[in-house]
Amino acid sequence: MSRRKAAVIAPPRDTSPDEAALRALYRKDPSRILPNALWKTVMRLQSLECRFIDDAGSVTGVELREPGKLLIYGTRTQDPLKAASVKLDGVPTVYIHNDFVAPLAPWFEHKEAFFRLLHTGSELPLRATVPGYTIREVDMTTELPLVATILHACYDAPTPGTDEVTMWTKRPVFDPRAWLWVIDRKEKRPVALGIAETDRLTGEASLEWVQVLPAFRGLGLGTMLVQELVYRLEQRVAFTTVAGQVKNPCEPDHLFRRCGFTGRDIWWILRR
Ligand SMILES: CC(C)(COP(=O)(O)OP(=O)(O)OC[C@H]1O[C@@H](n2cnc3c(N)ncnc32)[C@H](O)[C@@H]1OP(=O)(O)O)[C@@H](O)C(=O)NCCC(=O)NCCS
C-alpha cells in the first residue's frame, strides 16, 4: 500500500503588526512611501515580506518584497546612500521613488514614470460649472455596463469590462458617492466619468479613474469633475491621492494641480 505524504499548509501570517506600522508611516508622507493608495498594498500584505527601514531609532521607510517577483522601496529620507542597500536578487519588477532610481535603472530595460500627487483639503476647491453640463452619481443598479463603455471610449489601451467594474463595487473601499458622471444636458447622456475610492481606516481617498470623452475635452469638464470629487471626498478623509503616467499626452497632472493637488514625487516601474 502506498503511503501519501501529508501536505504541509502554512497558517496565514499575522500581518496586523506590519499593517499598523505601514499605515502610521504612510500617513506621514504617502507619496514618498508607496506608489499607490495604501489599501492596495495592505490587500497583498500576506504575500509580501515587509522590512522597515530604521534611521537613528525611527522608522523612515519600507522595503516590500514578493520573493522572485517584485520589490517596492519607499522612504521619507532623501539620502541616496540608502538606495545602495537595495538588493535586487534578480527580481523582474521594481517600484522605486525617483530619488533612488539612478543606481538601479541600468539593470532594467523597461522604465515607466508615474507622478503621485496629494490634496490635503486645506483649501477646498471652488466647484467650477460648465454651462450645459451637470454632475450626477452613477446608478449602480443599471449603469455599470455604461461605465465600462465610457472607459473603453476614453483610452487607446484596453480597459476593464463590466465584470471587473462590478467587482470594484464589492470592495471595502467602494464609495457610491464618488462615482460621478458629467451629463450633457441637451443630449441627456454622460460625457465624462470620475471614480474615487475611500479607505476610512487610513483616512485616504484616491482618484482611480478620471476621463472625458475625446470630443468633449478642453471644455473644463475634467476640472468640473475633479473639483466635485475632491469637494465630496475631503469632507470625509484626511487626504486624497492620485497617480498617473508622466508620459500622457493629455497631461493630467496639470488638471490635478489646477484642482489643488500638490507634490513633486515621481515613482518608477522598472521591468527587465
Ligand atoms: C485628462 C483629461 C481628463 C482632461 O480633461 P479635460 O476636460 O480636457 O480637462 P479641462 O478642460 O478641465 O482642462 C484642465 C486643464 O488641463 C489642460 N489640458 C487639457 N487637455 C490638455 C492636453 N491635451 N495637453 C495639455 N494640457 C491640457 C487645460 O488647458 C486646462 O488647463 P488650464 O485651465 O490651465 O488651461 C482628458 O484629457 C482625458 O480624459 N484624457 C484621457 C484619460 C486620461 O488620461 N485620464 C487621466 C488619467 S491619470
Task: Kindly report the CATH number assigned to the domain that includes residue 62.
Answer: 3.40.630
Residues 98 and 28 in one domain: yes
Residues 6+ apart with CB under 8 A from 224: 127, 128, 129, 130, 133, 135, 182
254 part of a folded domain: no
Closest residue (by CA) to atom 24 of ligand 1?
Answer: 250
The tally of domains found in the chain comes to: 2
CA quadruple 184, 230, 171, 263: dihedral, nearest 10 = 120
Closest residue (by CA) to atom 35 of ligand 1?
Answer: 218
Q: Cβ(114)–Cβ(264) under 8 Å?
A: no
Residue 27: Cβ within 10 Å count: 15
pTM here? 0.93
Core vs surface per residue 95-115: b (16+ CB within 10 A) or e? bbbbbbbeebeeebeeeeebb
Please give the residue range of the domain that contains residue 148: 133-237
- Please name which of 143, 144, 180 lies closest in space to residue 163, comparing C-alpha atoms: 144
Atom of ligand 1 nearest to the CA of 212: 39
**Does the C-beta of 251 come closer than 6 Å to ligand 1?**
yes
Model pLDDT, residue 175 = 98
Closest residue (by CA) to atom 7 of ligand 1?
Answer: 222
Would you give per-residue pLDDT tens digits along the chain (272 residues)? Answer: 456 666 677 778 889 999 999 999 999 999 999 999 999 999 999 999 999 988 888 889 999 999 889 999 999 887 766 666 778 888 999 999 999 998 889 999 999 999 999 999 877 767 889 999 999 999 999 999 999 999 999 999 999 999 999 999 999 999 999 999 999 999 999 999 999 999 999 999 999 999 999 999 999 999 999 999 999 999 899 999 999 999 999 999 999 999 999 999 999 999 99
CATH number at residue 192: 3.40.630.30
**Does the C-beta of 212 come closer than 6 Å to ligand 1?**
yes
Angle at the Cα of 100 from the Cα atoms of 95 and 105, rounded to 5 degrees: 70
Model pLDDT, residue 32 = 96
Cα–ligand 1 centroid distance for 247 (angstroms)? 13
Residues 102 and 24 in one domain: yes
Cell readout for 7 is: 501536505
Cell readout for 244 is: 498617473
Residues 87 and 61 in one domain: yes
156 part of a folded domain: yes
Of 83, 117, 151, which residue constitutes the final position of a domain? Answer: 117
